[in-house]
Amino acid sequence: MELTFLGTSAGVPTRNRNVTAMVLNPLLARPGLWLFDCGEGTQHQMLRTAFNPGRIDKIFITHLHGDHIFGLPGLLCSRSMAGSEAPLTIYGPAGIREFINMSLKLSGSWAGFPLTIHEITEGLVFDDGEMKVSAVALAHPVECYGYRIEEHDKPGKLDAQRLTRAGVAPGPLFQRLKRGETVRLEDGREIDGRDYLGEPQKGKKLAIFGDTGPTPGALRLAQEVDVMVHETTLEAAMAEKANSRGHSTTQQAAELAREARALRLIMTHFSSRYDAAACLRLLSEARAIFPASELAEDFLTITV
């Protein structure tokens, strides 16, 4: 999977950072793109990338604050005007349906493609057998969720040479054995595919947090993920201010990454008070606790 940041600023855009949006490209897992949050100007940011809004088939909204959703009506309208007929599904907290429907209605706009809106609660929100997405409630002044994206484990490699030596000819039976099925050969023997499979390939795990202060559910969301994307709105010395507004500091995000045994922490959602030099100071605070911390920047792409 690849994750591209389209906006990394908290609350308002700056000269170098737009407000929150991220594109997840599952690559070989599926042809579509997934968008996480859609702050104002998201479609303008996409114009500076190779991403086509028509390829987005799922949008996951963490919460209804403007810096996370004000770009959504424009993106939907542009997608329609471009003639896209591909279905789109939007997931988000209660109120997301009213926001979208009212925005389109009052502006005399419409979605010229099948649009499905799911208002979510905690728990599993999507699973197609290859990937699943779960939502965990966070600590913010409005209803807010983080999303845990997990690939299902893949079967291990089929030992074709052993099967050939056992008298199984390559062909359709190999596909069934690859799935772990038991097949009966023409001579009456039964072959259990599980006996010829290597170790399963562990699926990747990614946690994308919405805005949040420290909360017990965060550990469940981030437990042993390959990549944890977490807001670091303010520096460690401003913890009281950050938490009172439902946000986290560098130190708190790094401590969570360490406790969750995440492999990487990607810091984002920086207050506009921090310029590029000040963000490096934020990075130092996080790395003092969790060395595998990185700064997100607009248009940064990471591989999960």
pLDDT digits 0-9 by tens, 13-36: 999 999 999 999 987 656 799 999
* Confidence bin at 245 (pLDDT 50/70/90): very high
- Structural domains in the chain, CATH included, are 2-151+202-303 (3.60.15.10), 160-196 (no CATH)
- The one catalytic residue among 37, 57, 67, 192: 67
Mean pLDDT of 211-220: 96
Q: Which pLDDT belongs to residue 79?
A: 94
Question: What pLDDT is stored for residue 30 in this prediction?
Answer: 67
The structure's pTM equals 0.89
Could you report the per-residue pLDDT of 222-244, keeping only the tens digit for each?
999 999 999 999 999 999 999 99
Give the chain's radius of gyration (CA, Å): 22
Residue 297 has a CB neighbour count (10 Å cut-off) of 14
| d(C-alpha 230, C-alpha 210), whole Å | 8
With bands split at pLDDT 50, 70 and 90, how would you rate the model's confidence at 163? confident
Q: Identify which has the larger pLDDT, 71 or 28.
A: 71
Q: Which residues contact 25 (CB under 8 A, 6 or more apart)?
A: 1, 2, 3, 4, 33, 34
Most confidently modeled range among 18-32, 192-206, 283-297: 283-297
pLDDT tops 90 at residue 161: no
Nearest to 271 by CA among 298, 288, 248: 248
* Higher local confidence (pLDDT), 50 or 172: 50
Q: What is the pLDDT of residues 107-138, one digit of tens each?
A: 999 999 999 999 999 999 999 988 999 999 99
**Ramachandran region, residue 108 (left: φ > 0; alpha: ψ -120 to 50; beta: rest):** left
Please, are residues 41 and 71 in contact by the beta-carbon 8 Å criterion?
yes
Closest CA to 59 of 97, 18, 91: 91
Is 67 annotated to bind a ligand? Reply is: yes
- 195 labelled ligand-binding: no
- Residue 130 CA to residue 150 CA, distance in Å, equals 9
51-65 average pLDDT score: 96
Q: Are 256 and 222 in contact (CB under 8 A)?
A: yes
pLDDT above 70: percentage of residues in the chain = 99
| 67 part of the active site | yes
Instruction: Find the mean pLDDT for residues 51-55.
Output: 93
| pLDDT at residue 93, as a whole number | 98
- pLDDT above 70 (res 53): yes
| Greatest mean pLDDT range, 22-31, 76-85, 134-143 | 134-143
Q: What is the pLDDT of residues 180-190, one digit of tens each?
A: 788 888 888 88
pLDDT reported for residue 239: 97
Is 44 marked as binding a ligand?
no
Q: Mean pLDDT across the chain, nearest whole number?
A: 94
Residue 118 marked in a binding site: no
